[in-house]
A and B are shown apart, each in its own frame.
Chain A
Amino acid sequence: MLCSLLSICYSCHREVGGSLEQDMYYTNGRDLYVQHCQNCHGEKGEGLENLIPPLTDTAYLKQNRNMLACYIKNGMEGKIVVDGRTFDEKMPDHEEFTDIDLAQLIVFITNAYGNNQGMYSTTDAAKDLQNCK
């Protein structure tokens, strides 16, 4: 009886959106976003017309989840398709971001603007950065 109560509580907690750690990362990530990203990607993650992609394409974020740390830290260029549109511009790098900065920013972006992709840790960032092209 107690076990099943506990397991219900546990699964409720998880579904509601995760841990305190994720919330903390999200909040810090939002501050970083406002400071470093909002000018280009917009207050609502809407981007800028066909010059700067939006951050609302959940499928794109999911598919590229393990590349996000690389993109943010090293910048990116070349053709990408986001939200059904082609973008071909240069995103500047942010060499100064630490692994935790990247993790916090990624938690924010992948859980804001209609996205809901859960926790992404500093260790995840460190690991993904090993595989940047």
Chain B
Amino acid sequence: MRDTKTVTLADGSTQVDTVYQTIPNFSFLNQDSTFINNETFKNKVYVADFFFTSCPSICPIMHRNMKKVYEEYSSNPEVAFLSHTIDFKYDKPSVLKRYASKLGVDDKKWQFAYGSKEEIYTIAEKSYLVSVTIDSTQKGMYVHQGWLVLVDKDRRIRGAYDGTDAKQVEQMAKDIPVLLAEYK
């Protein structure tokens, strides 16, 4: 299932085309307390997810799997990673910095974004299509889906993979060069 639109070609015939889910303008503080935005990911395909540093459930396995892909593409400047924290109370930039360095990814390739509840939760649900909620009955308090969302150089979502499933993440690692090849 995909969103589609009908386009009219130069010769007057019509064709059905895909309407891609596109990421809007964003601006967040990163782990170095500097602002990152869409320009930061210009000319790159990137993998986006939503997590929080004190997450007791799915985040460790998501990031374990994501780190493998990060290492695989470590020498490719066209591939980047963007993790948004959904814990706006605790995961301030300095906390994100500590997390990044302990995870062993303290560089510009993997950005950790901090924003207000409204900004982060809105972009998660409306743009990246990842569900995020606060539930005080849940251990860890914040609840979110484990999607790794693959975004192309035109800010369009091209894939979503379950970050807790090593096989799906392997598939994502295989899909990345296919995506990059579109731009050659």
Residues of A whose CB lies within 8 Å of any CB of B are 38-40, 42, 48-52, 90, 92
User: Chain B residues near A92 (CB, 8 Å)?
Assistant: 56, 139-140
9 A-B pairs in the complex with CB atoms less than 8 angstroms apart: A39-B60, A40-B56, A48-B103, A49-B67, A50-B103, A51-B60, A51-B99, A51-B102, A51-B103
User: Chain A residues near B56 (CB, 8 Å)?
Assistant: 40, 92
A90 to B57, CA, bound (A): 13
Contact between B63 and A39, CB atoms less than 8 A apart = no
A50 to B102, CA, bound (A): 5
Contact between B104 and A49, CB atoms less than 8 A apart = yes
Contact between A48 and B64, CB atoms less than 8 A apart = yes
Contact between A39 and B61, CB atoms less than 8 A apart = yes
Contact of B94 with A by CB under 8 A: no
Contact of B23 with A by CB under 8 A: no
Contact between A39 and B58, CB atoms less than 8 A apart = yes
User: Chain A residues near B133 (CB, 8 Å)?
Assistant: none
Contact of B40 with A by CB under 8 A: no
8 residue pairs, one from A and one from B, having the closest CB atoms: A92-B56, A50-B102, A40-B60, A39-B61, A49-B104, A51-B102, A49-B103, A48-B60
Contact of B54 with A by CB under 8 A: yes
User: Chain A residues near B102 (CB, 8 Å)?
Assistant: 49-51
**When A48-B64, A50-B104, A92-B139 are in contact, do A39 and B99 touch as well, CB less than 8 Å?**
no
